[in-house]
Amino acid sequence: MSTLFEVRNLRKNFGGLAVTNDVSIGLAPGDRVALIGPNGAGKTTFVNLVTGNLKPDSGNVFLGNEDITTLRAAERVRRGLIRSFQVTRLFLDMTPEEHVALAILQREGQAGRVVGHYSGRPALMQEVREILHQFGLLELSNIKAQEIAYGQQRLLEIALALALRPKVLLLDEPAAGVPQSETARIEAALKRLPADLAVLMIDHDMDLVFRFAKRVIVLAAGTVIFDGLPKDVIADARVREAYLGNYADAGSVA
Amino acid sequence: MTAPVEHSATVSPPVIRRLIDGGLIGALAIAVIGAAGYYLFPNNLALLTRMTAMALLVLSLDLVTGYCGVATLGHAALFGAGAYGAGIAAAHFGISEPLTMTLIGAVAGAVAGLVAGFVILRAHGLAQLVLSIAVIHLFHEAANKASRWTGGSDGLSGIMPNAVFGLFEFDLWGQTAYIYGLALLILVFVALKILVRSPFGMLARGVREDPVRVGAMGVSVHSVLLRVYVISGAVAGIGGALSAISTQVVGLDSLSFTLSAEALVMLVLGGTGSLYGALIGTIVFMFFEDTLSAINPFHWLTIIGALLVMVVLFAPKGLYGSAVALVGRFRRRQA
Amino acid sequence: MQTVFSIAVDALAYGMVLFVISIGLSVTMGLMRVVNLAHGAFAMIAGYLASYAARDLGLGYAAGILIAVVGTVIIAIPLERFLYRRLYGATELTQVLMTIGITFCVIGIANFIFGPTLKTIPLPPALQGSVDLGFRSIAAHRVFAIVCGLVVALALWFLIERTAFGIRLRAAVDNAAMAAALGVRTEVVYAVSFAVAIGLAALGGVVGAELLPVEPYYALRYMVTFLVVVSVGGAGSIPGALLACLVLGAIDTTGRYLAPEYGEFFFYLAVIVIVTLFPRGLLGRSKQ
């Protein structure tokens, strides 16, 4: 399948330490890829390089056929490279309806309008309701974000990203901090993401990763050490080494 | 949009909600209170007109501080620019048609907003606050130096506005000035009500709540803030022009740090992030200032200082915000 | 040549007075991250106390300084305990408003007690004359102010770099949570630093009274000057504050001598340039 999103030889040093070391990754439409790695592997830096919040020392980022390496973060978003945040970032004083409406307005280039109200636009309201319904948030439409449960805030976070109609979606630990009882709802929402969307999920939660991802990439010390099928990842010696260190050689850990 | 609107929205029919959101009720309230002031204090119309001009400054500050979360101690720069813009047009260029003067004030304020925003918005936190202070002092000293145009520390005089629409002369009792000011305030209030509930107004609130999230939606936070600054400048500029038209002088105090700080105090007293809060804060502050500082200016300072500490400690949402919260709690208990 | 020399001496003296008053603010802002607009109000209180002790009670200059410093610290301690502590971690807007409120109260109360006139602090004979340098003579109190600034800088350097308290203070500035976890009682460090900061403001208020006259609106007039100095130097940095005071003192004094009609124009222009180029101050630490 054609490549929709590609990272080529991306490199970033912090004071001589290569935090991202020659990373290359490609995503095609419809991909469901998980990026995992032990703490300090450089996952957060990688996300920031891709979204444009950090400048790489060398290497390129492509979206479609376009080299977006030098574009600012906001420009990348407008081209369809959307991210969600590990720690929920919502407008606590606004309702889910307002969140989604604002995202749609921004997508349509209407967010700079100084008159009118979104509720006066039936087509927009229809889409807002559909998206909120899809995430089971329709009943909470008019309650301020600070008053809804954390699990629902996480869902709204994803809904917000989706309302921007991404081509590539970076999900940064979508279920982080959510009680076990509610993760199922987030998983269900992830399952219903548009089929042609390319998704890169960054996560620690192996259960979630194995249920969601069709492909797993393992990052350790800034380098990609594995890129392949989920079933092969556990058996991979380098991955075991990266996660378990010396224990991997010691046989049974018990 | 403020908390009470959200609350009543769930119970009131949509028509009433629209009226409230559209600012009609607020406009009506301003008109009624304004008329009451007119009949209750006929000998004090100058003070009431000053209040109106000040209310425009505080509304303008509310856009920047209340809706976007930018803390500034230099907002009088925008007000003073409007006052000098209108005053210089009248005193040096013979443009004394009041509507034109007001328009010139709005443009001058908007330009000052662009300049101030350009300087202030590059920084954050303490640096931003200090830059805002530096900007107002720079404006002040520049106006003082350019005394050929501004009259320097003597103030700019020779402002003789024509009759409004060629019909209503500015009289000795300040009746025309007061009504003109009130009309401006109502128009601006309605315009701002429309603005804050528009998509752009939501964007501005978003910047206050979480600029990172706004950026992740593909919006340039800096350009949103700069646009708010320009709009805010136009509003403050109208206030400045009103002050120039009604008092017929412009002094350096209209470009002072003190005025900037006072505007911020009024805003916080009433409650940030709500247009009603801005208005209530202005009225309460100026009413007490007028009453108390007539007795002793230092007692006034002590009282306003203590009040400010109290508000910060016990009512961080300001008078209006706290009242709304109280009503909300009461309603919830009933429900 | 005469002018250059006068400007240099005045700039140095003014810069040192600014330093003595602002350095406490710089330390507390680096430590507690409180934008304290009331810092100048404490210098003003000290000026009033010193004037009362030295002029009205006739106790002399040295006693005036001592009474002013001790008295101001005693007044400040309950304020730290009951008001400032609530500001740690609050937003800048909250801090600004609370400290403006405190300033207003101080102005109002000081004038209620002492009256709205300018207060002088009579200098002892030794500081009234001038010091002969052979080729020039300098007003003695200017020399005194400069010496005070140097002594304060050295004493602070010693306190922070060479004492056990200094180690705790630096740890708390670096990372308050970590310092607390390591057993540093941060609230004690905060309280002591606050007291020292206020004591220095008081000292600067009295010593600098010849350059920054003690009058009713002192706290308002210089409210932002000290904040600006801290911001330009970088909160929490002693060398930064010293550098900022010397640079800003030089710019301000030169401007007043050579282009008085511009007032503080060049001072604030310099502030905008410096703060825009160095958002964390000239010698501020890169970590926020």
Q: Which of A55-59, C129-133, C205-209 has the lowest mean pLDDT?
A: C129-133
Q: Do C97 and B312 touch (CB under 8 A)?
A: yes
pLDDT in tens, A69-99: 999 989 999 999 999 998 889 999 999 999 9
Q: Give the domains, in start order, of chain C with CATH numbers.
A: 2-277 (1.10.3470)
Whether the predicted pLDDT of A199 surpasses 90: yes
Whether the predicted pLDDT of A42 surpasses 50: yes
pLDDT in tens, C192-219: 889 999 999 999 999 999 889 999 889 9
Q: Do chains A and B touch (3 or more CB pairs under 8 A)?
A: yes
Q: Which chains have 3 or more CB–CB distances shorter than 8 Å to chain C?
A: B
Q: What six digits make up the tokens of B90? A: 């009248």
- What are the distances in angstroms from CA A42 to CA A36, A39, A219, A222, C287? 10, 8, 7, 5, 21
Q: How many CB atoms lie within 10 A of CB C160?
A: 16
* Cα–Cα distance, A115 to A99 (Å, whole number): 18
**Where do the structural domains in chain A lie, given as residue ranges?**
5-89+165-250
- Chain B: closest CA distance from residue C233 (Å): 11
Confidence of residue C1 (pLDDT cuts 50, 70, 90): low
Q: Do B124 and C279 touch (CB under 8 A)?
A: yes
| A60 in Cβ contact with A5 (< 8 Å) | no
Across B248-286, b (16+ Cβ under 10 Å) vs e yields: bbbbbebbbbebbbbbbbbbbbbbbbbbbbbbbbbbbbb
| ipTM entry | 0.88
Q: Do B141 and C268 touch (CB under 8 A)?
A: yes
| Interchain CB contact of A92 with B (< 8 Å) | yes
| B292 in Cβ contact with B299 (< 8 Å) | yes
**Where do the structural domains in chain B lie, given as residue ranges?**
14-256
Q: What is the pLDDT of residue A246?
A: 52
Q: Which chain B residues are within 8 Å of A94, Cβ to Cβ? A: 202, 205-206, 209
- Write the residue in C98, C112, C231 that is nearest to B127 by C-beta: C231
- Virtual CA dihedral for B296, B301, B303, B306, nearest 10 degrees? -160
Nearest to B276 by CA among B179, B178, B192: B192
Tell me the β-bridge partners of A26: A6
**Residue pairs spanning B and C at CB distance below 8 A:** 138
| Interchain CB contact of B222 with A (< 8 Å) | no
CATH homologous superfamily for the domain A5-89+165-250: P-loop containing nucleotide triphosphate hydrolases (3.40.50.300)
| Interchain CB contact of B212 with A (< 8 Å) | yes
- Write the residue in A74, A82, A142 that is nearest to B219 by C-beta: A74
C1 CB burial (10 A radius; 0-12, 13-18, 19+): exposed
Instruction: Provide DSSP, B167-196.
Output: TB---TT-HHHHHHHHHHHHHHHHHHHHHH
> What is the largest distance, in Å, between two alpha-carbon atoms of chain A?
68
The conformation of residue A111, written as its DSSP 8-state character, comes to T
Q: Which chain B residues are within 8 Å of C276, Cβ to Cβ? A: 119, 122-123, 131
pLDDT in tens, A27-38: 999 999 999 988
Averaged over C52-72, what is the pLDDT?
Answer: 92
Q: Do B199 and A102 touch (CB under 8 A)?
A: yes
Q: What is the pLDDT of residue A180?
A: 82
Q: What is the pLDDT of residue B146?
A: 92
Residue carrying structure tokens 């301690």? C77
Q: Which chain B residues are within 8 Å of A105, Cβ to Cβ? A: 199, 202
A5-14 and A17-27 beta bridge pairing: antiparallel
Q: Alpha helix locations (H) across chain A?
A: 43-51, 73-78, 96-107, 122-134, 150-163, 180-191, 206-212, 230-233, 237-244
Find, in chain A, the residue whose alpha carbon is nearest to that of B2: A93
Q: Do chains B and C touch (3 or more CB pairs under 8 A)?
A: yes
A168-172 and A198-202 beta bridge pairing: parallel
A215-220 and A223-228 beta bridge pairing: antiparallel
Whether the predicted pLDDT of C30 surpasses 60: yes
Touching B: A residues 143-162, CB under 8 Å: 144, 160
Instruction: Provide DSSP, B226-265.
Output: HHHHHHHHHHHHHHHHHHHHHHS-B-GGGG-HHHHHHHHH
Whether the predicted pLDDT of C61 surpasses 80: yes
- Chain A: closest CA distance from residue B217 (Å): 6
B200 CB burial (10 A radius; 0-12, 13-18, 19+): buried
Q: Residues for chain B: how many in total?
A: 335
* Cα–Cα distance, B229 to B120 (Å, whole number): 10
Q: Do B138 and C280 touch (CB under 8 A)?
A: no
Could you list the pLDDT tens digit for every one of the 335 residues in chain B?
333 334 434 444 566 666 666 678 889 999 999 999 999 998 899 999 999 999 999 999 999 999 999 989 999 999 999 999 999 999 999 999 999 999 999 999 999 999 999 999 989 888 999 999 999 999 999 999 999 999 888 999 988 898 888 888 888 888 999 999 999 999 999 999 999 999 999 999 999 999 999 999 999 999 999 999 999 999 999 999 999 999 999 999 999 999 999 999 999 999 999 999 999 999 999 998 998 888 888 888 899 899 899 998 998 899 998 998 888 888 877 76
Whether the predicted pLDDT of C2 surpasses 90: no
| Interchain CB contact of C217 with B (< 8 Å) | no
Find, in chain C, the residue whose alpha carbon is nearest to that of B137: C268
Higher pLDDT, C99 or B329: C99
Averaged over C87-113, what is the pLDDT?
Answer: 90
Q: What is the pLDDT of residue B14?
A: 61
| B225 in Cβ contact with B207 (< 8 Å) | yes
Q: Do chains A and C touch (3 or more CB pairs under 8 A)?
A: no
Sheet holding A58-63, edge to edge: A17-27, A5-14, A58-63, A66-67
| Interchain CB contact of C264 with B (< 8 Å) | yes
- What are the distances in angstroms from CA C77 to CA C24, C65, C98, C196? 15, 18, 16, 11
Q: Do C105 and B305 touch (CB under 8 A)?
A: yes
- Write the residue in C86, C103, C112 that is nearest to B305 by C-beta: C103
The conformation of residue B164, written as its DSSP 8-state character, comes to B
Q: Do C116 and B307 touch (CB under 8 A)?
A: no
Whether the predicted pLDDT of C288 surpasses 70: no
Q: Which chain C residues are within 8 Å of B307, Cβ to Cβ? A: 101
> How open is the CA angle A241-A244-A245, to the nearest 5 degrees?
60
Q: Which chain B residues are within 8 Å of C102, Cβ to Cβ? A: 305, 309
Nearest to C190 by CA among C181, C180, C182: C180
> How open is the CA angle A43-A235-A23, to the nearest 5 degrees?
30
Phi, psi (deg, nearest 5) at residue A49: -65, -40
pLDDT in tens, A137-184: 999 999 999 999 999 999 999 999 999 999 999 999 888 888 888 888
Instruction: Provide DSSP, B43-70.
Output: GGHHHHHHHHHHHHHHHHHIIIIIIT--
| A132 in Cβ contact with A95 (< 8 Å) | no
Helix or strand holding residue A62 (H, E): strand A58-63
| Interchain CB contact of B218 with A (< 8 Å) | yes
Whether the predicted pLDDT of A240 surpasses 90: no
Q: What is the pLDDT of residue A248?
A: 45
* Cα–Cα distance, C126 to C61 (Å, whole number): 11
* Cα–Cα distance, C95 to C190 (Å, whole number): 16
pLDDT in tens, C220-276: 888 888 999 999 998 888 889 999 999 999 999 998 888 888 888 999 999 999 999
* Cα–Cα distance, C51 to C65 (Å, whole number): 9
| Interchain CB contact of A65 with B (< 8 Å) | no
| Interchain CB contact of B216 with A (< 8 Å) | yes
